[in-house]
Structures are given as C-alpha cells and as structure tokens.
Structure 1
Amino acid sequence: MLHHNEAHREGLETIRKLINGIDTAMLTTVTDEGLVSRPMKTQDVEFDGDIWFLTKKDTSKYYELLHNAQVNVAYADKSYVSISGTAEIVQSREKVKEFWNAMYEKMLETTWEDPNIVLIKVKAESAEYWESGSVFKQAKFLFEKLTGKETDTKMNDTVQL
C-alpha cells in the first residue's frame, strides 16, 4: 500500500509542477451532440487533485455538468497536460468569495454575492502529460531516438490520481 501512496504523491507533484502558473485551461464537457471545449480561468490554488473554476448557472456548461459530470481539463504551455476527472457543482458563497476578484466583476458583470455564480470543482482521476519544456529532457529523448538506447527520461507519462 505504501507503494501506491508514494506513486500517488509523486503523480500529484508532477502534475502540480507542470500546470503551475498556467492561467487558462480548456474544460471539455459532454453534450447530447458530443464534446465541447471552452477556455476557463483556473483558480489560483495549489493543485491537490482538485481544479476549481467559476461559472454561472445560466450557461450551457452548467447544464452539461448536471447531465454528465465526466470532464477533461487540458493545459498547454511549455508542457501539455490532459486531466480526466469528475466535476461537481459547488454552491458556496464563502468559496466563491475566496476566489472572487475585480476581473470577475467586470467579466461576469455581477458580484460574488450573485446566487447565479457557482464553482466547478473537478476531482482529477488521471492525467497524461507531455513534458517538452526541459531542454535536458528533449536532448535525452533525442538521444534515445537516434541511438535506440533507453534512458530514465520520460517525456510522456500517464499517472493515476
């Protein structure tokens, strides 16, 4: 059991490092017609297996999540991370206030007290990543491809969260 806990901790730490500082993610939801992705502002909290977004109840994503909570959250910057999980609608004024700032007031044209404002909490279940930001890792990866000799460098991996 200790091995599983260590792998879980290492997986969380890897994903935390890779998505740290990336403000916008693509949230993919399931509709009757298929999949829909839209950019969302990730809340600035340390990744612990949960990802938080603010939204309004009167949006299609809100109703899509009520119908099917399975989602994907994708990040792209110096590395690429694709997180699969389950979304939960959280209706907590205190939590909304915690994340609220002046940008939301202008963008959403309301205040944090508006009962139409809710949170989406995504519980990450697994993540796949492609780590392309490290020149050292890129060089080792190229070495592997050119020589056929394996190193301990992983540019791509899947972790269970």
Structure 2
Amino acid sequence: MATNAKTAHEEAIETVRDLIKGIDTAMLTTVTKEGLVSRPMKTQEVEFDGDLWFLTMKDTFKYEELKQNPHVNVSYVGRSYVSIRGQAELVDDRAKIKELWNAAYEKLLDTNSDDPNLVLIKVKAETAEYWETGNLTKVVKRLFSKLTGTESETELNKTVDL
C-alpha cells in the first residue's frame, strides 16, 4: 500500500513538474492584514521536486507578509493552468543564493549575489490544482460529454496532494 501512495506522490510531482517546466514567471500570492496580494516572481531554473524557489529582498512587503503568515499560493499560466498551495519559508543561505543566481537578477534587482538584503523564498507545495487546456482531445471529449449529457472520465481539471 505504501508503494502505491509513494507512486501516486511521485506521479503528482512529475505531472506538476511537466506542467510548469519552461514557464518563466509565476504569480506568488501572500496574505496581508487587508487580504490577498499577488505579484509576479521569476521562476527558478530548478527542477520541481515538491519545493519552489524564489529570490527576493528583505526590505519588501512580501518578506514582511511571509514572516507574519507563511500560507501562499503560486500560479502558473502556460500551455496549462497550475495553482500550487503551500507554506513559504524564508531561507537566508548565501550558497543557495549563489547557486540560483543569474545575470537577469543583477538587472532586475539592481544588486549582486553577495547583497545581504537578498533572501530566498522556499515554498513547500502541499497541493496543486491544474487545468490541462492544451490537450485538444480532452477538451473535445469533455465538451461532447457536456453537450450530450453523458458521463466522461476525461478530466480537464484535477487536484493532487503533494
């Protein structure tokens, strides 16, 4: 039984990895006293293993928001739509920052990888919901099912636990 659960977990991670691969920008949603706030974040070129990594500065609102409430949502739009819910952790690790650093950050953040104001956001994914809109066959089957009133096992939307 544990093998099946592990396989399902690995399959869920692999599916999400495939769906978000190559998407340069994600929307990170944090919780504030006033409500929810979303902002674009550069996706790290790290293979998804259940964790997402982002780079930010300590003197930002999102840094303070994450210190107050680590619950986040990260959404991706590409050939599919993916919404990942999880817990954020602020990680002050110079070696990891240097590992993830690239020239685009120097221009984007107007700093270098040695800046003590830099910090990582590590999102431990808990669940992911996705819509496979790029699969035309599934879309057509699902539409036909709706038009005819018949049941369809073709899912355009699915939620997986990570």
Same topology, TM > 0.5: yes
Matches within 5 A, 1:135-154: 135-154=136-155
For 2:56 and 2:75, the matched residues in 1 are separated by 17
Question: CA-atom RMSD, angstroms?
Answer: 1.0
Shift of 1:101: 1.3
Provide structure 2 residue ranges, at least 5 long, that are not aligned to the other structure. Answer: none
Q: Secondary structure at the match of 1:52?
A: strand
Equivalent residue, structure 2, for 1:89? 90
Equivalent residue, structure 1, for 2:112? 111
Deviation readout 1:114-152 (Å, 9 max, x if unpaired): 110011000000011111011111111112212233343
Q: Secondary structure at the match of 2:41?
A: strand
Aligned residues: 161
Q: Which amino acid aligns with 1:133?
A: G
Equivalent residue, structure 1, for 2:101? 100
For 1:82 and 1:118, the matched residues in 2 are separated by 23
For 2:153 and 2:10, the matched residues in 1 are separated by 19
Equivalent residue, structure 1, for 2:129? 128
For 2:39 and 2:120, the matched residues in 1 are separated by 16
Q: Is residue 12 of structure 1 aligned with residue 13 of structure 2? A: yes
Q: Which amino acid aligns with 2:133?
A: S
For 2:139 and 2:78, the matched residues in 1 are separated by 15
For 1:45 and 1:148, the matched residues in 2 are separated by 43
Q: Secondary structure at the match of 1:89?
A: strand
Q: Secondary structure at the match of 1:44?
A: coil
Q: Secondary structure at the match of 1:124?
A: strand
Equivalent residue, structure 1, for 2:27? 26
For 2:143 and 2:35, the matched residues in 1 are separated by 37
Shift of 1:51: 0.5
For 1:9 and 1:102, the matched residues in 2 are separated by 33
Shift of 1:5: 1.3
Provide structure 1 residue ranges, at least 5 long, that are not aligned to the other structure. Answer: none
Q: Which amino acid aligns with 2:40?
A: P
Percent of residue pairs identical: 65
For 1:156 and 1:114, the matched residues in 2 are separated by 42
Q: Secondary structure at the match of 2:29?
A: strand
For 1:94 and 1:17, the matched residues in 2 are separated by 27
